[in-house]
């Protein structure tokens, strides 16, 4: 009898054509299209300071390593190679056109169209789970989503509030979330202060848009909507949780998410461990302790954040194997199979 399928619930395969020209300073997005310059830039960023001290530099290095592959399919093939046959992957596009960082070479519609093509192909149709990236400030956001769900078979929605909007934006609350409840499809929301932030807002204001408590209004109005908070608050918040005293006035995002899960009011709230858990030695012991709580145990999803972690020497294949060993079979399959199936309800 074949082994149960692993579900990797958080992955990216978009390319540099979907990254705005101003994402890096000094025209580096365009310059990095020149292979020798790209190699030098990537290695410079990785050498700036150790990973544990500069999350952003290593994320940039990962961007450079993967976004300049030729296609989404090429990135997908690398991702698939790290996991056993039959593993299933939620793929999350990125729409960075409204973040105030300039133009993108390829807009979100072609990016979605290529993901739709891949997910329908004979090679990938049984393993790809495409999500639509919905930017509520774009015209006709609901019409875009309807086409992707009803014509192209997309299975969920991704939002990225740090690009410049709250998760209770009027378009989301009035149009997108009601449709998602009607179609019984889940939401995956970026929930980390780090990574991609609006260039039009002060950094702390942009980061605050993704605060876990911002989802309370959404969850109260749409209790049937299944929401996964990507990154479980983020690697920096886990580090703060472990290394600082308990801050009553400024609780960590990890603390906030756990509080919301344990409170019993938000039954359809999930969180994935993508990227955050790659800080393995520091965060896996805490994860194991959290998973001792039956409530938390049923709400955590396995995800890696490919390709944001690809620059690390700690490969995805080794990471997923080590995590399975560290958690044990019961907990690993809980977060990598049972919980994702409950979240997706495919």
* Sheet containing strand 156-159, strands side by side: 7-11, 88-91, 128-133, 156-159, 187-190, 227-230, 269-272, 300-301
Q: Which parts of the chain have pLDDT scores under 70?
A: 1-2, 24-68, 310-313
Nearest Cα residue to 157 out of 116, 186, 178: 186
State the CB neighbour count (10 A cutoff) for residue 187: 25
Q: What is the pLDDT of residue 32?
A: 54
Q: What is the pLDDT of residue 26?
A: 41
CATH class of 7-31+70-344: alpha beta
pTM of the model: 0.90
Q: Say which residues have a Cβ less than 8 Å from residue 198's Cβ, sequence separation at least 6.
A: 99, 100, 162, 163, 164, 206
Cis omega before residue 307 (within 30°)?
yes
Q: What is the pLDDT of residue 18?
A: 86
């Amino acid at each position: 009898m074949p082994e149960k399928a692993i579900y990797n619930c958080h992955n990216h395969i978009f390319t540099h054509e979907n990254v705005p020209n101003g994402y890096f300073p000094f025209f580096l997005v365009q310059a990095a299209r020149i292979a020798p310059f790209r190699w030098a830039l990537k290695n410079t960023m990785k050498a700036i300071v150790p990973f544990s001290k500069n999350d952003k530099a290593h994320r940039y290095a990962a961007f450079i390593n993967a976004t300049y592959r030729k296609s989404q399919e090429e990135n997908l093939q690398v991702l698939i190679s790290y996991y056993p046959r039959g593993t299933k992957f939620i793929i999350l596009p990125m729409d960075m056109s409204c973040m105030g960082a300039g133009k993108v070479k390829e807009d979100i519609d072609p990016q979605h169209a290529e993901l739709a093509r891949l997910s329908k192909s004979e090679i990938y149709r049984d393993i790809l789970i495409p999500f639509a990236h919905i930017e509520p400030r774009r015209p006709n956001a609901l019409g875009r989503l309807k086409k992707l769900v009803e014509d192209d078979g997309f299975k969920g929605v991704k939002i990225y509030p740090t690009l410049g909007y709250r998760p209770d934006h009027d378009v989301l609350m009035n149009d997108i979330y009601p449709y998602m409840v009607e179609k019984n499809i889940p939401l995956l929301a970026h929930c980390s202060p780090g990574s991609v932030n609006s260039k039009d807002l002060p950094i702390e204001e942009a980061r605050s848009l993704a605060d876990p408590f911002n989802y309370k209004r959404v969850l109260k109005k749409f209790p049937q909507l299944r929401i996964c908070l990507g990154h479980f608050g983020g690697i920096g918040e886990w580090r703060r949780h472990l290394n600082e005293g308990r801050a009553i006035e400024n609780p960590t995002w990890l603390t906030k998410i756990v509080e919301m899960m344990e409170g019993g009011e938000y039954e359809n709230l999930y969180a994935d461990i993508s990227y955050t858990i790659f800080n393995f030695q520091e965060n896996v012991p805490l994860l194991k302790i959290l998973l001792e709580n039956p409530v938390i145990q049923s709400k955590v999803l396995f995800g890696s954040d490919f390709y944001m972690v690809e620059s690390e020497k700690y490969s995805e294949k080794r990471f997923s194997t080590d995590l399975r060993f560290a958690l044990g079979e019961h907990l690993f399959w809980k977060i990598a199979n049972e919980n994702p199936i409950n979240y997706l309800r495919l």
